[in-house]
Amino acid sequence: MPAGTYLHLGEGLAERFQCAPGPGGWRYTSRRDDGVRVDLVVDARWRQIRVELVTPGWWLRGGLTGPELAWVRAAGEEGTEHAERAAGFLTDSPGFLVAVARSLDLADGGRADVPLVRVSGPSLAALTGRWRWHLAGTTEHETDTGPLPVREYEITDLATGETEAVHLAGDVVLAAPGIELSDLESPPNLRV
């Protein structure tokens, strides 16, 4: 079960995480220095079936319900319900990069345009957009425990044309814009 720390370079915050395959999918949990908590559960096809995001002042709970992504967002007890035709959420937590990439199941050179709900800021503001995911390639890196396949994704925001590179090894983000893996206590799960 991988556990470790991501650094959010822009804010200088640490996100302590752990993730593991389960009987029907995969789960990622984390807590940041600023009190933000993430609990992400995906099914065997990597669809985001249960998501909980909590900041000191707001919370959001949701998941996929057929072709729609449904969620409730609130600052107290009473929340507002929302729904969009989208494949899942995208936040600044690296766990969501893993979930979206794995759900696409792209072969090297493959690409897909994906509608996602981007959640950002302390108020968990949600904005629907489309991103193009391109699996640029997979490289093998030798380690003490055997070869480690690393996949490089080029992710383009179709609204702005901005492209960013993300490197994944199994269920761990090795590098992404503004994210640095600073500590990893055990190897990534490669067969999830």
| Per-residue buried b or exposed e for 84-94, using 16+ beta carbons within 10 Å of the residue's own CB | eebbbbbbbbb
Q: For the whole model, what pTM was predicted? A: 0.95
Closest CA to 17 of 129, 132, 94, 97: 94
Confidence (pLDDT) at 192: 56
Taking a C-beta distance cutoff of 8 angstroms, is the pair 174, 159 a contact? no
Residue 21 has a CB neighbour count (10 Å cut-off) of 15
Work out the end-to-end distance of the chain between its first and last CA atoms, rounded to an integer number of angstroms: 11
- What is the helix (H) or strand (E) element at residue 17, kind and residue range? strand 13-21
> Which pLDDT value is given to residue 187?
85
The CA R_g of the chain, rounded to the nearest whole Å, is 16
Contact indicator for 173, 6 with CB cutoff of 8 Å: yes
Residue by residue, pLDDT tens for the chain (192 residues) are: 889 999 999 999 999 999 999 778 999 999 999 999 999 999 999 999 999 999 999 999 999 998 899 999 999 888 899 999 999 999 999 999 999 999 999 999 999 999 999 999 999 999 999 999 999 999 998 887 778 899 999 999 999 999 999 999 999 999 999 999 999 998 888 875
Per-residue pLDDT at 141: 86
Which sequence spans correspond to the domains of the chain?
A: 3-184
